[in-house]
Structure formats: C-alpha cells, structure tokens
Amino acid sequence: MPGKGKVKHAFLGLGSNMGERESYLDAARQELTCSEVRIIRVSSLYETEPVGYTDQGWFLNQVVKVETTLDPEELLSFIHEIENKLGRKRLIRWGPRVIDVDILLYENLVLDTPDLIIPHPRMYERSFVLIPLQEIAPDLVHPDGRTTREHLEALSGKGETEKIRLFQG
C-alpha cells in the first residue's frame, strides 16, 4: 500500500512556527500516512527565517517525498483536512501557523487552476524549500528540465536567500 490505483510520487513542504513546532511536524507526518499516502523520504528539519511577513517567529521546515494513489486535488483536500485537524487558523496572510503542508511537486505535472498551482508558486525563490529538497532529491529533474541542484545554484547566485540552519532538537 498504497495498493490500489496507480502510485504517483509527490514532494510536500511542511512548516510550523507556533507552539511545539517539531511536534506539529511529527503530527503532520503521522496524519499524512494512510492507506493512500506513504512517506518514503524525509529531509532533516531546518530552522528558517520568516519570509513574506517578517514579524513572526522562525519556522521549522522540512520536505518529504510521498507515494500516493490520490490525484492532486484529492491530495490537496486531504492536506487541508490535516491542517484543520491540527488547529490551523488563517488570521494574518503569510502569518504564523501551527502547520502548513504544501504540495511542491506532483510527478512531472504542471497545473495552474484557481485552487492549486504545481509546481508550488515561489518554491524556486525559497531556500527553506530548495535546501531540504536538495538533501533528499538533488538530481530530481523538475518540469522545467532543471535539477534541484541547478535551481538551488540559481537561487544562491541571486544572493537574496533567507537565513537557514539545520535544526538540532
């Protein structure tokens, strides 16, 4: 398992910057795991400077690779259920949250609908995504034909990356 239907691969970005951040990431991974989703790679945890809205605490971010029989829309609905179950409240745009789970990549798919954009918009501008992704999938070829490593090199070249460090419990 996932046992029925064709198995697809996706990469998810996890983030938390409220309360027991590590526990929220643990809980999110636990909730993701079900008959239709299996986590097959996990990055280290990274402590990362907030971007977008900067007047908030540092995040813990992580990237996981999953096998799933859910299609992208089903996976997104499942993720929203998990975020709600873990107590996410949407107050300030880009503000603090107990848990955020984003679909970064799904197979080699490019999708742009009102509800879901894949690859995740702005992921190529965020070292809090590309550094953990590089840890577990440096040679992964993205829909634009570039590898994770090439994307990270391009971002580093711009010299505008947020602060990030490995998290040690």
The item of ligand X6L, Mg ion, none sharing an interface with residue 122, based on CB under 5 to 8 Å by kind, is: ligand X6L
Tell me if 100 contacts Mg ion by CB under 5 A. yes
Residue type, 49: E
Radius of gyration of the chain (CA): 15
The first and second tokens of residue 145, run together, are 């034909």
Helix or strand run (H / E) with residue 103: strand 100-106
Compute the half-sphere exposure of residue 163: CA atoms within 13 Å on the CB side of its CA.
8
Residues 128-167 that bind ligand X6L (CB under 6 A): 128, 162
- Residue 158 phi, psi (nearest 5): -80, -15
Compute the half-sphere exposure of residue 140: CA atoms within 13 Å on the CB side of its CA.
23
Tell me if 78 contacts ligand X6L by CB under 6 A. no
**Which of the residues are catalytic?**
88, 97, 100, 102
- Which one of the spans 19-27, 54-62, 100-108, 148-156 is the region binding Mg ion (CB under 5 A)? 100-108
What minimum distance in Å lies between the beta carbon of 51 and Mg ion?
A: 10
What minimum distance in Å lies between the beta carbon of 149 and ligand X6L?
A: 21
Q: Which residues bind ligand X6L (CB under 6 A)?
A: 15, 48-52, 59, 61, 94, 100, 122, 128, 162
